[in-house]
Amino acid sequence: MITSPTPEGRAELVRVVREALHRPQVTLADDALTRDSVLIIERARVRGPDGTPVLGRDTGRPERFRLVKIGLRCELVHEGSGRRFPLLQAICASK
């Protein structure tokens, strides 16, 4: 998990998740990866023109990431693809 989170580290985490998922925008909780080493990203609900959720079943699975510590550095692993993303601004603790 991330210890001593900083605004720079949070911005890097958002950027890495966007890059991994090929999405222009993602929303993360302020305490993402500070209590656990797993990050789950739910799909955004489709909304109609008036802003209300469109009814229907969403069969997409959430995306899962795992934070690992390799030596002194942190890496975010996208479990769906196995791709690894270094987090240069984060300080991690082994869990």
Contact in structure between 91 and 4 (CB atoms under 8 Å): yes
One-letter identity of residue 29:
A
Q: What does the pLDDT look like over 6-46, one tens digit per residue?
A: 999 999 999 999 999 999 999 899 899 999 999 999 876 66
Contact in structure between 48 and 59 (CB atoms under 8 Å): no
pLDDT at residue number 83:
96
One-letter identity of residue 33:
L
Query: Residue 7 class from Cβ within 10 Å (0-12 exposed, 13-18 middle, 19+ buried)?
Result: exposed
